[in-house]
């Protein structure tokens, strides 16, 4: 299968159609019970109206597009068993270091391949006394400039197969992963299906373990019962409960009837903007989003090859796989695991529960940062990966074995 260089180029006609749609938007009426800046019922009309005006009149997509095209991007064709051939858009930047470690970065929703751009240079460059990485960051199937999933349900087994085959086609027989959100679920499937032979270790900033029980994890279960929760863990459980109460409606919609909301997301750029920005704001740790960042994240979805709504299909697959994706991802996988915990993320379960996922070789906690760790706190993610794979780290020997085999051609 072929790999070809790629540059983003949105046609003038698509840009003009976006401006026309923005100009024709009908906005909801603000209710009397809403204050002008209240987010209780969702994004304030005044704020979305303001952003839409910026998007229509002064946001410079061509400048953003030119900047994105400074990153080395490619399209690679991969064959998925029983599904056919798919196009994967990806950033692929190789380190000048001969001892660099191949790393697959997998984004989530409502993010995109953009999330890797804040950590890319530091990972590729490395440090004198630490590791460097060859970084591959695809747009997931249904996202960005990759293919749509096709007429059959494109499940997480297929997602995992796609990015594993991408790494093989790029010459990386062994690799490690950093991932979060949807990408974090995919990374668990990759580890299960292709580790530890190919996927040698994986790192996540969004672990989602199930509660260990006495039948499957008797020793761990006993330890959990005898270990009091820390203050941080108590706060994490409270945040998790609040998210499930007030912030989980999107998941119920997308995992049951994604097509219903798809009409709005496909037709209305303002609808898409509000749908995404509400999560970007709520799921981050008071991150100071600029107008350009907000509109660039929305634009990647609006100009997506598969369509503005297509990413919704991954949530349907989460609940309609057998077993459901979260249950499958919570199973023990004997592939070394690193975890970064950001105390303002959405789902923050007791730390001991994570040991039901696999052999934990690196674990850290950060007081600053939310769901979009690589975007909000890139230094922390870079540092955690360096610690995990660097000298003295829990996956140092794994990194060295990858390098040894790559040198000998094994």
89 catalytic residue (yes or no)? no
**Domains along the chain?**
67-212+322-408 (3.40.50.1820)
37 catalytic residue (yes or no)? no
Q: What is the pTM of this model?
A: 0.97
d(CA 366, CA 369): 7
d(CA 84, CA 158): 11
Residue from 122, 157, 181, 345 carrying the catalytic annotation: 181
316 catalytic residue (yes or no)? yes
In 3-state terms, the chain is what percent helix, strand and coil (to 5)?
45, 15, 40
Residue from 301, 371, 384, 387 carrying the catalytic annotation: 371
Residue from 316, 355, 366, 384 carrying the catalytic annotation: 316
> DSSP for 188-201?
HHHHHHHTTTTEEE
Task: Kindly state the DSSP code that residue 139 receives in the 8-state scheme.
Answer: P
Evaluate whether 185 touches 156 at the Cβ level (below 8 Å): yes
> For 317-328, how does the pLDDT look when each residue is reduced to its tens digit (9 = 90+)?
999 999 999 999
pLDDT 10s digit of each residue in the chain, 410 long? 699 999 999 999 999 999 999 999 999 988 766 566 789 899 999 999 999 999 999 999 999 999 999 999 999 999 999 999 999 999 999 999 999 999 999 999 999 999 999 999 999 999 999 999 999 999 999 999 999 988 789 999 999 999 999 999 999 999 999 999 999 999 999 999 999 999 999 999 999 999 999 999 999 999 999 999 999 999 999 999 999 999 999 999 999 999 999 999 999 999 999 999 999 999 999 999 999 999 999 999 999 999 999 999 999 999 999 999 999 999 999 999 999 999 999 999 999 999 999 999 999 999 999 999 999 999 999 999 999 999 999 999 999 999 887 776 66
Cis amide bond preceding 323, omega within 30: yes
């Amino acid at each position: 299968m072929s790999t070809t260089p790629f540059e983003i180029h949105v046609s003038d006609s698509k840009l003009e159609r976006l401006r026309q749609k923005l100009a024709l938007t009908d906005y909801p009426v603000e209710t009397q019970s809403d204050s002008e800046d209240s987010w209780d019922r969702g994004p304030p009309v005044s704020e979305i109206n303001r952003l839409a005006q910026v998007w229509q009149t002064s946001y410079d997509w061509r400048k953003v597009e030119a900047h994105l095209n400074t990153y080395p991007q490619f399209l690679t064709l991969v064959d998925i068993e029983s599904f056919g051939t798919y196009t994967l858009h990806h950033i692929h930047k190789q380190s000048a270091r001969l001892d660099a470690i191949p790393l697959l970065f997998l984004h989530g929703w409502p993010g995109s391949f953009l999330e890797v751009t804040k950590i890319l240079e530091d990972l590729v460059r490395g440090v004198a006394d630490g590791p460097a990485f060859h970084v591959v960051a695809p747009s997931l199937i249904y996202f960005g400039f990759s293919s749509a999933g096709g007429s059959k349900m494109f499940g997480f087994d297929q997602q995992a197969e796609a990015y594993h085959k991408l790494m093989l086609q790029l010459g990386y027989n062994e690799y490690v992963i950093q991932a979060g959100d949807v990408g974090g679920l995919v990374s668990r499937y990759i580890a299960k299906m292709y580790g530890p032979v190919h996927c040698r270790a994986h790192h996540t900033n969004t672990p989602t373990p199930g509660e260990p029980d006495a039948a499957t994890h008797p020793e761990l279960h006993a330890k959990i019962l005898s270990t009091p929760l820390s203050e941080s863990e108590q706060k994490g459980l409270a945040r998790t409960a609040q998210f499930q109460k007030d912030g989980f409606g999107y998941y119920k919609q997308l995992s049951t009837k994604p097509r219903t909301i798809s009409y709005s997301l496909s037709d209305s750029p303002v609808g898409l903007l509000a749908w995404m920005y509400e999560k970007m704001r709520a799921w981050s740790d008071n991150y100071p989003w600029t107008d350009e960042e907000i509109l660039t994240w929305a634009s990647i979805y609006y100009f997506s090859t598969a369509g503005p709504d297509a990413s919704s299909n991954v949530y349907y697959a989460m609940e309609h796989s057998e077993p459901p994706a979260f249950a499958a991802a919570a199973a023990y996988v004997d592939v070394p695991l690193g975890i970064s915990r950001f105390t303002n993320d959405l789902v923050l379960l007791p730390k001991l529960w994570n040991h039901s996922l696999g052999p934990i070789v690196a674990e850290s906690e950060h007081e600053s940062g939310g769901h979009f760790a690589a975007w909000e706190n890139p230094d922390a993610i870079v540092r955690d990966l360096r610690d995990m794979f660097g000298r003295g780290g829990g996956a140092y020997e794994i990194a060295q074995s990858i390098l040894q085999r790559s040198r000998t051609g094994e």
